[in-house]
Amino acid sequence: MNEPVLEIKGLDVDYGVGAEAVHAVQDVHLTLHRGEVLGLAGESGSGKSTLAYGLTRLLPPPGVIRGGEVIYHPDDGEPYDVLQLTPKQLRDFRWAETSIVFQGAMNSLNPVHKVSTQLMDVIKAHDPRSTRASRLARARELLRLVGIAADRLDAYPHQLSGGMRQRVMIAMALALEPRVVIMDEPTTALDVVMQRQILAQLVELRERLGFSVLFITHDLSLLVEFSDRIAIMYGGRIVEQARGVDLYRDALHPYSDGLLHSFPALRGPRRELTGIPGSPPDQRSLPLGCAFAPRCPHAFEPCAGHVPVLGAPADRDDTTRTVACWLHPAEDDATATLSLS
Amino acid sequence: MRYLLQRLGFYVFTAWAAVTINFFIPRLIPGDPVQSLITKNQGNLSADAIQSLYVLFGLDKNESLITQYFHYWAQLFRGDLGLSFTFFPTPVTSVIGDSLPWTIILVGITTVVGFLIGTSLGVVAGWKRGSWVDGLLPVTTFLSSVPYFWLGLIAITLLAGPGSFFPSSGGYDPGLVPGWDGTFIGSAVQHSLLPALTILISSMGSWILGMRNMMVTVASEDYITVAHAKGLKERRVMVSYAARNALLPSVSGFALALGFIVGGTLLVEIVFSYPGVGYELFQAVGSQDYPLMQGIFLIITLSVLVANLLADVAYLVLDPRTRKEG
Amino acid sequence: MAEENTVATEQAVADREAAPATAGAAAPDDVVLEASGLTKHFAVRKRGRDLLTGTKRSVRAVDDVDLVLRRGRVTALVGESGSGKSTVARLLAQLYPRTGGDIRLHGKSVTVKGGKAFRAYCRQVQMIFQDPFASLNPVHTVRYHLTRALKIHDRAGEDVEQALHDLLTRVQLTPPERYVDKFPHELSGGQRQRVAIARALGADPEALLADEPVSMLDVSIRLGVLNLLRDLKERLHLAILYITHDIASARYFADDTLVMYAGRMVEGGDSETVTQSPAHPYTRLLIESAPDPDRLDPGTGKEPGEVPEEKGAGEPPSLIAPPSGCRFHPRCPAAMQRCETDLPPRFEVDDSPGHWAACWLYDSAVTP
Amino acid sequence: MALPAADFKAVAPLPAEAIAGPAAKRRRFRFLTGGKTLTGLIVLAFFVVIAIIGPWIAPFDPSARSNDLLESPSGKHWFGTTHLGQDIFSQVIVGTRSVMLVGLTAGIVATILAVLVGVTSGYLGGSAGEGLSALSNVFLVIPALPLIIIIGTALPSGGDYLVAVIIGFTSWAWGARILRAQTLSLRRREYVEAARASGESTWRIIFFEILPNLTAVIASSFVGTVVFAVMSEITLAFVGVSSFSEWNWGTILFWAQSQQALAQGAWWWFVPAGLAIAILGTALSLLNFGIDEFVSPRLRSGGKTKAKNAAGKTVRLRVGFTPVLGREKP
Amino acid sequence: GGGSANAGGGNAAAVLNVGMPNGPQAENNNPFLETSAAASLGYRYVIYEPLVMLNRVKPQDPGKPWLATKWDWSDNYKKLVLTIRDGVKFSDGTPMTAEDVAYTFQLLRDNKALNIDSVPYKDITPSGNQVTLAFDSSQFVNQVKILQTIVVPKHIWSTIKDPTTDTVKNPVGTGPYTLKSFTPQTITVSQRTGYWQEAPKVKEIRYTSYNDNNAQVSALTSGAAEWSFVFIPNYKTVYVNKDPQHYKLWFPAQLAVHGLWFNTEKAPWNNATLRQAINKVINRDDIFNQGEAGYFYPKNDQATGIPSPAGDPFIAPQYKGQTVKVDVAAAKAQLTGAGFKLNGNQLVDPAGKPVTLKLSVPSGWSDYITDLEIIKDNLAQIGITATVDKMNQDAWTKSVDTGDFEGVLHWTNDGATPYDMYRDVMDGNRYKPTGQGGINGNYGRYKNDAATAALQTYANAADDASRATAMATLQQIMISEQPMIPLMAANSGGEYSTRNWTGWPDENNQYGPAQPTLRNALDIVLHLKPAA
Ligand SMILES: Nc1ncnc2c1ncn2[C@@H]1O[C@H](COP(=O)(O)OP(=O)(O)OP(=O)(O)O)[C@@H](O)[C@H]1O
Ligand SMILES: Nc1ncnc2c1ncn2[C@@H]1O[C@H](COP(=O)(O)OP(=O)(O)OP(=O)(O)O)[C@@H](O)[C@H]1O
Ligand SMILES: [Mg+2]
Ligand SMILES: [Mg+2]
């Protein structure tokens, strides 16, 4: 369970070049383990999508990757850096090893092609020698996997409901049985009933197929329930990373804490909701120190001048979690870069 | 079903309105065909001829405009467009029949080819922003801003002339009889090269630009990113995902262009002395040949409508979202 | 209220006294807006076949909805996407003509289509739209939006600038000078939503119809807007209709909660009761589906798959040909024979006063 | 005029303390600073200036005959002379006014019509809207140029304005169609609904809520019409059917053509006017680029399409393959 | 069509290429219709032949007997006896007889639409090889029109339902050529057998219609067209110098003029002195050289306005050799004498109003516009402010028709004598008041009873002497009243190339005007010989 499958090291992603550049993702270290669901949360604009697209080099212009490594550990063979692949290698890598379900399935399907065409497309691209019949059979099977009748193969995207489209996308993501599935807010546009249906299906599929999921959302309550680990992003950096339960019970970073006190709970006693005052930082010119410092109720002098390093907090006896906050400085900067043993 | 009925209703209405306008507008011109025939002949036709020409053209009976209008419709329903004055007594249908194929073949083919080439270049320009094709844009913009006739005349001066491969005028070698034989077709093709080339050059710019912009817009759609993420071949993403969607808005523009083939060829035909409908129309206007003018307008109107219908159908075929179920 | 009077509210009070609507003694004083039997059917395009058979088809977006908005109370309307929540709000705002039913403002039945009467109605009932990114005109400044709101309803008084500042202060956009001359794109989502609310307040209404005012916002910003609404309710004693499909927020911010399914009200009552002990099977489904951080371990506790797949998983029903009887019966785990044929009326649920459900399970005549 | 009116909002003073203000303003005007748009504007401004002062700076009376018959360009006659010894340079300069006048007037007329018909039919919907839409479709079906020729022939004689009005009246349909489509989509926008819900009257909604959002589209269709009008005017003059007496570039080309200038070897008679048209047309197209990019931010080429990576090599920013620049190793 | 038509190609030497700038043609070979392709390109005259071949360049020359061997006028030109040639066969082999001639005249008489010259035919009686035509009035001035009539076969035309709307797909005439092929662009006629005279050397004539003057001129310069009638600006550079040895043109004057007309009903243009003065300041040389490219409409500075040399025999002895010369001083003196005043640069009429002149012209007529620009400059010399008002052709035609103008350039009819021309200028019988349309000549609304009477006399006089007197009267009125200012003669010429064919008419051999669309074209074709 603890073998890494995808290691992000020091990833820097900008929009634009030069002085106008927006530093959307900065020095991100994150490891995805085999078979786990890693939740990535953070408020709107914190760089979650950018991170997800960046690690597969799918950012549209003016996005550029300024540096870092994305090490992929295949089942067999040596780990390699995804960012160094040639276009040809990258194309082969994509979807076969890492697939993505995008924010808003409404727009992820090509409106002019049938669902079957789009499903079979991807199989053909990675296995040119497959026959049409075998591809069709596979497409059928995939749809069944996500609970859609096979007669919908000939439907066009607009003929499907939002939930069905989202499930088609999940089916497509699983078409090549990748090791990693990245999901960028796959359920935001759906209502809760549908959302739960899809997530239940996903959990079940993961158990069967054993892929790892990077699950992006800003709905923390959803993550707490579904993911093994949660990473919180703020201002382009990971500010905290811990197991869901730990985070929910005892968030170390003031931002995580604020987030957790921003949504009401449906059950149990009414909690006090504090919210997070202030507004998100301008990523064109981030504050010198901790990006959250201007909004932080606990900010003190090192915060403004020095960027806190992500590392296991010295004040907690817990190696499974890391945090980047001067309130909980890392015990050893050297360990900070390697997240878990 | 209902959609089609609605469209049909629209077409019928538009056709009626256009034909009505086409009927009345030529009659607003002062003077009449006889006067203008006399004037055109500048003395070679004696003024004494006026009376006999009135009788000849049947203009001596004083019908009211409304009566003429109803007669015109009655005539139309019989498939009769009347007799041309300029070529009296040749029926308008045969005048148009002589010239229409030339226009359709020359301008039709160049419009289609221009659209294909322009769109393809646009696809590449939009897809590979910053590449050399994209760098072509200012040049094509300039070329499409040059008045067509000017470009044509310069082309004739520079490229055509005695001894040149390009003939400077006409649709085929004088002395040839139109027919489906090699000599004639070869000559027709040779004569159409220069006009075709100039039409291409001046029309391609807008196709390139339109397609490029659509490509840029479409390229940032999510499904394109998904297609990349799926590891599809670059070509496949470009053609089957991006271009296929970017093409949709161009379809109606293309249909409109097809419809205006007939109407928009005046200058081509004047400059290259090409035997087509545009020049015929110009002549008809010059000599107040109402029947011919109306006939050509009818053709133009119909072709625009048919092109629109084609666009509707093409849209229905190309964009599954517009197809209604049930 | 007396302590918090501002210039605008004083004026409003004067207006209210002058308004003939208040003279209606029929309704209890605190009921501001009341709808009964509200129905809206949207005509759909005919298909070729229907032209022949002459059948008329329509989307029955809202059917027979009763609803009461009281002064100083927030009423939440929850339900899944497409259940007709926005349609109810628009009907209440008189933006759609209704197919049937009655809307009473201070006990007086009103039907307005446009012009003066519509304006007079707007003065008392204002609507806030779902999407803060779409409901402000990108070419106008905050000043324009708010000035218009004041001017239309002649609430500006002598000093427009002062009134503007009051409005902005009331929605906690302080200091006002920093915001008045901004364009919408220069504001954050929460700030925009506040401007939208300020605009609605500009008319100094008595009832505020808030159609999913926070669904597009980030959790942290969302909270600010909701707190603001609650604050408005408390300070200005507005009657607020809060539409959402986030049932947890309904629990926190609304006094009463109504649940809608496929164009019909299926349950209603005091928020805490409805969310903590839901009566109608649909409400239960809704609440079970909502993400809940307290279901901590995905492996243990309540399995996400616990929601009965076959029944609950169904698609929302077609509103063109809605299921007969109870509209939820095709998906209902507890469906009975009669659910398929008979439309359930409102039944009192005895766990708390005012709690009702439109479900045969609560038919006291059958279940003792 | 050609400066998109969409930007009046940017002119509204922003308070000094609004930090985002100047930056936002700069960003909004950025489409003007793009090389293309700026070039277009400068060239257009040049022609406008010539149009205004042309008659004063022309060295000769453009109609005056002289004894320098059909001379090639020289210090005295920069663009040479005609068969009557008229100075072609003066003709081009003086002719600019008519071209600009007709282009702009026709553009204004057509734009007003397009806005009236398009926006009204889009906003009203129902049978009135359908009727107006049918009207614009009829005008779309009728071929404009032949129609202009006929109407031009029908009117005995008239100045530039008449020609402009005719062109304007026959070329609004396309703009109306686009505006109608835009209005139809704007009408469904929530801010329009919101304005209605807050009690705004219909005309205020059309003029203050919808129209300002259409300015970019209107501006770009205005520029398009101006191009069309200029081309039409020149074509009319070239085929010899227009009835106006003033000089314009088309008239020059008409004379060149009827005197068979190219056959006579008098290229100077032909080239300047044609180039002037092409340059004006290009300038207007460039301006249209700018407006298009303004309307659809995705077309903005303001962002670079190339970047340098750590090794100093240029890499293209392309969809699907984000470039990895690499960090300069310390 | 068919493939065979394009095979062969033909020996260049046997083919004559004619071009006209008339645009695409529709298949219509009806010789009586001016709208037919046959008329527009001129091939009707190599298929159908006239009774008599007359030479427009020398109207006083007797005609060449053609289908008629003799024509005798009697009864003061009220009766004409035509003797028809024997042995002439139509191209279908049927012999041509007096019946056919009589039928042709009947056709014209019975179909007003075909009688384009409005000749009042009355009794037509064939007998033997003679046809007798009787008229109610003297046909002295119509002689030419009647004698030039082309003859069509009765056996074919009598079966045509409506000769005015028949396109005569298969033209059958007595001429040496028959229609070989028709395309909208090129019409080919080829020689037939059994022509009554010596067969022409030209085996085939191709008539190509070009869309405009430019195309026509480049066809001429490239040699693709060998014979045409088209305006060539700067003809030396553009055309002749391309091959000075072979490329020729000859544009002899005919008996019609182009001139400056005034609406003589509008003040101050009703003042003859003013018109005379204007006559003295217009620079006809400039007009000829710059406006008419030095050849197109021959310069006409005869005081009587009668073009030379065609009209020379008609000029009264006292006016022989009198030409108009530019004399600004004289013009000024004349004006001052008549009560006009020159205020600085502005002429003021006796009524005290400044004299301005609006010259109307169709906007596309570049030579007329050029001419008027010159006139405008000339008039400035005597203080008249003229403006050239370009309008579209139809509006112009209408304004000429209704007299709604101050000054225009316009032409007159032509004829075998100056009668037709003078009648157009000053026939009181054709007068219509300003504002009334449908005028047929006398565009200047000129009324002068003496002139009207003289025209009457000329047309109906029984003897040549009274005709000469009447003609002298007309000339005197023309000079003293100047109802219109003749500037140039109408032309009937053409451009031709001597590279393949020689024998064309020219200055030294004026046997007919070199225009390919006139009756004389047949005569010319018969004269052509292959170049050595
Ligand atoms: N094309 C672009 N040009 C400049 N800045 C951009 C661009 N795209 C995104 N950004 C900025 O990058 C930052 C990160 O954006 P990103 O889309 O990754 O956020 P996110 O966390 O996914 O937010 P959300 O939850 O709203 O999806 C934001 O501040 C955004 O404004
Ligand atoms: N103008 C309209 N014409 C036809 N059908 C409509 C119209 N507006 C809404 N509907 C239909 O009425 C039903 C209810 O729509 P409504 O917008 O009220 O739902 P909602 O509960 O607000 O959904 P959401 O949570 O997604 O906003 C839907 O099925 C919708 O498709
Ligand atoms: Mg995102
Ligand atoms: Mg809604």
Cβ contacts of C54 within 8 Å, gap of 6 or more: none
> Where is average pLDDT lowest: A113-117, B56-60, E53-57?
B56-60
H or E segment to which residue A335 belongs: helix A333-336
Contact call for E and C: 3+ CB–CB distances under 8 Å: no
Residue where the block lists tokens 């190599």: E46
The closest ligand to the CA of C80 turns out to be 2
Q: Residue D215: which pLDDT band, with cuts at 50, 70 and 90?
A: confident
Min Cα distance E472 → chain B (Å) is: 24
Which among B50, B73, B84 is positioned nearest to B285, based on CA atoms? B84
D7 within some domain: no
Average pLDDT of every residue of chain C: 80
Ligand 1 within 6 A of CB of A218: yes
Residue where the block lists tokens 């209603």: C268
Cβ contacts of B135 within 8 Å, gap of 6 or more: none
What DSSP line would sit under C290-309, residue for residue?
Answer: S--TTS--SSSSS-GGGS-H
> What is the domain count for chain D?
2
Gyration radius of chain B over CA positions: 24
pLDDT value at position D89?
Answer: 94
B21 within some domain: no
Contact call for C and B: 3+ CB–CB distances under 8 Å: yes
Show the tokens assigned to C326.
Answer: 């109870």
What DSSP line would sit under D176-202, residue for residue?
Answer: HHHHHHHHHHHHTSHHHHHHHHTT--H
User: Rounded to an integer, what distance in angstroms lies between the CA atom of residue B146 and that of residue D88?
Assistant: 19
Average pLDDT of every residue of chain E: 90
Span C282-300, average pLDDT: 73
B318 within some domain: no
User: Rounded to an integer, what distance in angstroms lies between the CA atom of residue A148 and that of residue C151?
Assistant: 54
8 Å CB contact of E114 and B87: no
Show the tokens assigned to C187.
Answer: 């504001």
Among the atoms of ligand 2, which is closest to the Cα of residue C87?
18
Amino acid identity, residue B313?
Answer: V
The closest ligand to the CA of A217 turns out to be 1
| Partner-chain residue, chosen from A57, A62, A66, that has the shortest CB–CB distance to D327 | A66
Among the atoms of ligand 2, which is closest to the Cα of residue C84?
18
Please give the share of chain E, as a percent, with pLDDT higher than 90: 65
Mind listing the pLDDT tens digit for each residue in D85-102?
Answer: 889 999 999 999 989 999
Q: Which of residues 20-39 of E touch B (CB under 8 A)?
A: 23-28, 30, 33-37
> How are beta strands E186-191 and E177-182 bridged, if at all?
antiparallel
Q: Which of residues 152-191 of B touch D (CB under 8 A)?
A: 153-154, 156-157
B61 within some domain: no
8 Å CB contact of D9 and C136: no
Residue where the block lists tokens 């909502």: C290
Cβ contacts of A61 within 8 Å, gap of 6 or more: B129, D303, D305, D317, D318, D319
Cβ contacts of C277 within 8 Å, gap of 6 or more: C351
Mind listing the pLDDT tens digit for each residue in D222-267?
Answer: 888 898 888 888 888 887 776 556 788 988 988 888 888 888 888 8
Q: Which residues pair with A313 in a beta bridge?
A: A330
Amino acid identity, residue C117?
Answer: A
The residue of chain B nearest to residue C52, with distances taken between CA atoms, is B2
Cα B72 to Cα B66, B77, B82, D98, distances in angstroms: 10, 9, 9, 40
Span A193-199, average pLDDT: 83
Span E310-333, average pLDDT: 92
For residue E483, is the peptide bond before it cis, meaning its omega torsion is within 30 degrees of 0? no
Same domain for D184 and D133: yes
8 Å CB contact of E237 and D265: yes
Among the atoms of ligand 1, which is closest to the Cα of residue A62?
1
8 Å CB contact of C45 and B1: no
Min Cα distance A52 → chain D (Å) is: 12
Mind listing the pLDDT tens digit for each residue in B257-309?
Answer: 877 777 667 788 878 878 888 888 888 887 888 888 888 888 888 888 888 88
Q: Is D262's Cβ below 8 Å from some Cβ in B?
A: yes
What are the chain B neighbours of A82 within 8 Å (beta carbons)?
Answer: none
Query: C56, C83, C214, C246: which to mutate for ligand 2, most atoms within 8 A of CB?
Result: C83
Q: Residue C18: which pLDDT band, with cuts at 50, 70 and 90?
A: very low
Query: Ligand 3 centre from A45 Cα, in Å?
Result: 7
8 Å CB contact of A196 and C289: yes
**CATH code of the domain containing D96:** 1.10.3720.10
pLDDT value at position D123?
Answer: 85
8 Å CB contact of C137 and D198: no
Same domain for D322 and D274: no
B135 within some domain: yes
Q: How many other β-carbons are positioned within 10 Å of the β-carbon of residue B322?
A: 13
Mind listing the pLDDT tens digit for each residue in E78-115?
Answer: 999 999 999 999 999 999 999 999 999 999 999 988 98
Same domain for D136 and D40: yes
Min Cα distance E17 → chain B (Å) is: 9
Same domain for D174 and D313: no
pLDDT value at position A198?
Answer: 82
Q: Residue E24: which pLDDT band, with cuts at 50, 70 and 90?
A: confident
The closest ligand to the CA of C77 turns out to be 2
D5 within some domain: no
Same domain for D186 and D330: no
Q: Residue E329: which pLDDT band, with cuts at 50, 70 and 90?
A: very high
pLDDT value at position B43?
Answer: 67
User: Rounded to an integer, what distance in angstroms lies between the CA atom of residue A171 and that of residue E102?
Assistant: 96
Mind listing the pLDDT tens digit for each residue in E196-233?
Answer: 999 999 999 999 988 888 888 888 998 889 999 998 88
What residues make up the domain containing D325?
303-330
| B189 phi, psi to nearest 5 deg | -65, -45
Q: Which residues in A have their CB inside 8 Å of a CB on D? A: 12, 16-17, 53-54, 57-67, 83-84, 87, 90
Same domain for D213 and D128: yes
Q: Residue A337: which pLDDT band, with cuts at 50, 70 and 90?
A: very low
D10 within some domain: no
User: Rounded to an integer, what distance in angstroms lies between the CA atom of residue E331 and that of residue E276?
Assistant: 8
Same domain for D187 and D70: yes
**CATH code of the domain containing B202:** 1.10.3720.10
3-class DSSP string for chain B: CHHHHHHHHHHHHHHHHHHHHHHHHHHHCCCCHHHHHHHHHCCCCCCCHHHHHHHHHCCCCCCCHHHHHHHHHHHHHCCCCCECCCCCCCEHHHHHHHHHHHHHHHHHHHHHHHHHHHHHHHHHHHHCCCCHHHHCHHHHHHHHHCCHHHHHHHHHHHHECCCCCECCCCCCCCCCCCCCCHHHHHHHHHHHHHHHHHHHHHHHHHHHHHHHHHHHHHHCCHHHHHHHHCCCCHHHHHHHHHHHHHHHHHHHHHHHHHHCCCHHHHHHHHHHCCCCHHHHHHHHHHCCCHHHHHHHHHHHHHHHHHHHHHHHHHHHHHCHHHCCCC
Query: Ligand 1 centre from D267 Cα, in Å?
Result: 58
Same domain for D101 and D224: yes
D25 within some domain: yes
Please give the share of chain B, as a percent, with pLDDT higher than 70: 94
CA angle E442, E444, E445 (to 5 degrees): 75
Q: Which of A50-64, B172-186, D310-324 has the highest mean pLDDT?
A: A50-64
The answer to ipTM > 0.85 is no
What residues make up the domain containing B262?
101-288
D229 within some domain: yes
pLDDT tops 80 at residue E190: yes
Q: Residue C4: which pLDDT band, with cuts at 50, 70 and 90?
A: very low
Same domain for D168 and D132: yes
Mind listing the pLDDT tens digit for each residue in A253-288?
Answer: 999 988 888 888 787 777 778 778 877 777 677 778
B119 within some domain: yes
B110 within some domain: yes
What are the chain D neighbours of A57 within 8 Å (beta carbons)?
Answer: 321-322, 324
Ordered domains of chain C (ranges, CATH):
2-43+60-254 (3.40.50.300), 284-362 (no CATH)
The residue of chain B nearest to residue E33, with distances taken between CA atoms, is B88
Mind listing the pLDDT tens digit for each residue in E425-476?
Answer: 999 998 999 988 878 889 999 999 999 999 999 999 888 899 999 999 999 9
What are the chain B neighbours of E17 within 8 Å (beta carbons)?
Answer: 174
B233 within some domain: yes
Mind listing the pLDDT tens digit for each residue in D154-207?
Answer: 665 567 788 888 888 888 888 888 888 888 888 888 888 888 888 888 888 888
pLDDT tops 80 at residue B131: no
> What is the domain count for chain B?
1
Query: Ligand 1 centre from A44 Cα, in Å?
Result: 8
Determine the length of chain C.
368
8 Å CB contact of A158 and B319: no
8 Å CB contact of A259 and C288: no
Amino acid identity, residue E457?
Answer: T
Mind listing the pLDDT tens digit for each residue in C120-138?
Answer: 898 899 999 888 888 888 8
Give, using CA atoms, the residue closest to atom 6 of ligand 1.
A15
Same domain for D138 and D37: yes
Show the tokens assigned to A77.
Answer: 């063979």
Span A175-203, average pLDDT: 85
For chain A, which chains pass the contact test of at least 3 CB pairs under 8 Å? B, C, D
The closest ligand to the CA of A280 turns out to be 1
Min Cα distance C45 → chain B (Å) is: 9
Q: Look at residue C7 and give its three-state secondary structure.
A: helix
8 Å CB contact of D14 and C181: yes
Min Cα distance D4 → chain C (Å) is: 14
C-alpha distance across the termini of chain D, in Å = 54
Same domain for D321 and D195: no
Same domain for D236 and D277: yes
